[in-house]
Amino acid sequence: MLKRFMARVMTRVVTHPSINARAISLLSRHPNLGTRLRGLAAASGLAHFAPGTAGVPTLTLPDGPQSLSPRAQHIYANLLKAIEQNRASR
């Protein structure tokens, strides 16, 4: 019953931008609560995402790394290397 109530509250919050902004601000200070609510949203069918990936931005470069500054290219290369090392260690 509580889950159904929370699902209704989340639906209401998401549809009102000012309330949504306040909720996001609150949840940014309490990441564990945000994670639990994301899981509840996924279980309720309110959100469709893989657990643990919500809020993780994706990086897309329209013109590839060549469009970046030299320093940004270096950081991008380091980031890709770290991602590969992380995948290899799993």
- Residue 60: the pLDDT is 59
Residues 22, 89: Cα–Cα separation, whole Å: 38
Q: pLDDT tens-digit profile of 69-84?
A: 889 889 989 999 999 9
Q: pLDDT tens-digit profile of 50-59?
A: 555 555 555 5
CB-based contact 49:56 (threshold 8 Å): no
Using N-to-C axis directions, what is the helix angle for 31-44 and 17-29, rounded to 10°? 130
Residues 7, 46: Cα–Cα separation, whole Å: 8
Q: Where are the domains of the chain?
A: 2-44, 59-90
Residue 89 token pair = 């260690």
Quote the pTM value.
0.45
Cβ neighbour number for residue 41 with a 10 Å cutoff: 19
Q: pLDDT tens-digit profile of 22-50?
A: 888 888 898 888 888 888 877 777 765 55
Residue pointed to by tokens 């989340």: 10
Residues 34, 62: Cα–Cα separation, whole Å: 31
